[in-house]
Structure 1
Amino acid sequence: MKKWVWAFAVLAMGVGVARADIIHATWGGGGAAVLRDHFQAPFTQRTGIAARMAEVPNTAGLVRSPTAAQYNVVEVTYFEAIGLAKSSLLETFDDREIPGIANLPRELVVRNAQGRIVGLSTHFAYYAIAFNTTLAKASDFQSWNDLADPRWKGKLAVTRPIYATSYDLTIMAHANGGSASNVEPGIPPLRAIFGNALTTYTSLAHMNTLLARGEVTAVPFYSTRVWNLRREGQMTIDMVIPREGALMLPYVVVVPRGSANRAQTLAYLNALIDAEAQTRMSAQNGSIPSNNMAVLPPEVERSLGMTRADLMQRMYIPDWNVVVSNYEDRLNQVEQIAAGARR
């Protein structure tokens, strides 16, 4: 067992509330089950600190709610973590309390304006192009701009503007010479992609069905969803990273302000960013470990066709602070694009 795990466990027991539950809130579904079975169970066995999952539909909304302090750890997207930090809704930590951050890329640690830690990336997925292999091939999508080709009219799906603003617009800007600060180059191709879309998917399950049934040919989608679909036997679904790269989507754990059981929570956070734990969970859900010392499980590496180091070379990591700061104005633009495509 890692020495710091024992140290924090002993500290937790010393404050007289060692059996208090650590409540970890995340989205419902397979991700929660993986955490429960492959992280929390061994964590509790090693440390004696009880932990359980809470499945909720909107994790960032939970942190903003009056009851947020009843949760110890909440999983959110990276850009949501930045927004929450700006609103002073999160507990903060000193680097010495979380020694494992030495093995995290600097850009995957969320800090507040004072430089204190407010969020830690436990893993990441990436946003690339998923397609049905009976209707298209990887070479059809060598560039993000290929999605704007008129031949895909009525054959694509797109996500809702609340997500397309942060994800699709950002990667399309990058693919056309722009950046997180300058998204104007991404507007025309994004408009063309919405124009090619048959539908806007309303949930991940909805999108899974559209792809599996061949109702749409391709969609900008999440790597972990494709990995899990293929693991479940949907071998007609695959994913390609265009030459401009994939959008890295880090997932971050935060602690709501006022949350109790700080010592146990610190033990839990340090365990979440441990390389061994991240590798173990990667084998179950296809997520990519954020810890630089972690290695991809063989089955994940085979499915990707590359090592973690090779994959990192193909990731585009935008300045999420800029994305968050400009979100409302850009959302209005994307909503207008979506509305125009529906006419």
Structure 2
Amino acid sequence: MQVAGQFLATVGWLGLALIVSELVATGIYLVGQWLGYRLSGSQVVLVAGFRYQLAHVNGHWHWQRPLTSYPHLVALPPTDAKRFNYASICFSGGLFSLLTVIISLVTMAQVTVTFNLWLMVVVIWIWVNTLKAGQLLPMMLHGRPTGALDFKTARASNAALTAAYVTQLAAATTVMTGSVATLPVDAILMPTGGDRQNYLVVRQAWVTLQWGLQHGLQLPDLLAGLDRLAPSFNTLPPADLAVYLDATIYWNLIANRPGAQLIGWYQDAGAQRLRQRYTPLTQYKLQAVYTWRVDHQAAPALALIDRGLIQAKRVAATTEIEWLKALRTKIQTSGKD
């Protein structure tokens, strides 16, 4: 019993060390990101943790609890795009983590440590920070591209680098105002000469679709622009693929174009898991429009919309609230025809 108790105590301490190491290492990584943003002239507008986030909305900081989150920062890039230093944004967090690893190794080398519990704790600490330095842990846990991949993708063309700037501007604007409607028109124009399978360009296409819808542009024309991208699914990170599938399926169903391919994408079990993990908030309106257009059931669709509105209001997702209300009106109006 005594041996079993010691074993359990050891496992408990190592588990606690892993949890604390992950939390502190994440904090170090975020501090590095913050410094990188500041050096490039960007202003941080959102600090997200594992389940909570602090967002700068309408001039004030607010606590929010989204349906899903991962540790990251969102920053408003400098007005002068020439100051936009994507390298500092992509690598500053990893650089801080790497410095932590080096300092930890040097410190351990100066101290004689026998093989005991504390040595294992130090090993866990160094290993977690090493994973953070290469962004391997976030990549494995969240399916999002690493900073190195983002930097490589942005360098592929001038269009990709422009898309990196625009999508960061759009993300920050969405945090602060709830939509991308306030972006200037020159920010959402798709640049020429870019690889249509470049996921940064695909991100900008989604921004263009959002902006166009909020300014009353014709949906068929916007969808045609999105369809022309036709990205290879093998080239898109899971998070970007989920957004692309979500937007393509939803807006085509709204336009009453329930093609066989779209239905197949919606029903595919793998695609469903992908969308539910990376776009959980938009799943309410996607399921609602599918229930309405394909299953021809208005009442369950309206119930899904009501649930989506509750979640959208929790995180001040203005655009999502507007689209859910518009869909509800559309369904209710169709039932009276």
TM-score interval (norm. to shorter): under 0.3
TM-score (norm 1): 0.24
What TM-score comes out, normalization by structure 2 length? Answer: 0.24
Point out the structure with the larger helix share. 2
More strand by share: 1
